[in-house]
């Protein structure tokens, strides 16, 4: 069976392959599968974006005849939800400061928005919504979360996005201070993948 991941992000593909490779003989990103598609992620929720991406990539792959019964497409969308900001930036996490994907600008805007907010009120969580569309079978939907606190300044050199501001209390580090193995063991995407794998099993 084949799994096509609706992404060309190398790190994401490797992480998904490590967990779902036990159920699929072939795991490919879009480029590797020969798919060129830019999905407009304009839904109002993470779940809506994941569903839209999965549906459009699945339709293209199906029309090209590159998936058969039992083959699947996996799509996800991730956001950071900050309690003091009523869940913002949420579904707009990647475009919080600009319409482009400017991670540094997004972090600066978040720190500005939380200026003066005490640590005890800086709770937040990452959420990853996933949709697995399997040809000939019902969809599988799952959302994984991980909870933490937004720091008052950036810490760490690893990761991307908001990782340098997201402090994970059980490990006493921001996501950007963890290596890939540490982060992948506790991340929102790992938690969503575990739910998908449980549903497959």
Q: So which residues are the catalytic ones?
A: 77
Measured torsion, CA atoms of residues 120, 102, 159, 157, in degrees rounded to the nearest 10:
-80
d(CA 87, CA 64): 39
End-to-end CA distance of the chain: 15
SS3 content of the chain, % helix, strand, coil (to 5): 40, 25, 35
d(CA 77, CA 59): 18
């Amino acid at each position: 069976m084949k799994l096509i991941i609706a992404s060309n992000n190398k790190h994401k593909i490797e992480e998904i392959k490590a967990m779902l490779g036990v159920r699929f003989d072939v795991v490919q990103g879009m480029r590797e599968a020969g798919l060129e598609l830019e999905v407009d992620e304009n839904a109002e929720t993470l779940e809506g974006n994941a569903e839209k991406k999965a549906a459009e990539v699945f339709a293209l792959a199906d029309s090209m005849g590159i998936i058969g019964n039992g083959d699947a497409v996996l799509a996800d969308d991730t956001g950071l939800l900050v309690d003091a900001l009523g869940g913002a930036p949420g579904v707009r996490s990647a475009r919080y400061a600009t319409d482009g994907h400017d991670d540094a600008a997004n972090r600066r805007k978040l720190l500005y928005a939380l200026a003066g907010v005490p640590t005890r009120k800086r709770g937040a969580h990452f959420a990853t919504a996933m949709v697995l569309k399997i040809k000939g079978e019902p969809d599988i939907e799952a959302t994984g979360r991980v909870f933490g606190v937004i720091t008052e300044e950036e810490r760490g050199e690893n990761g991307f996005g908001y990782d340098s501001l997201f402090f994970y209390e059980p490990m006493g580090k921001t996501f950007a201070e963890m290596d890939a193995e540490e982060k992948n063991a506790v991340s929102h995407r790992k938690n969503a993948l575990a739910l998908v794998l449980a549903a497959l099993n």
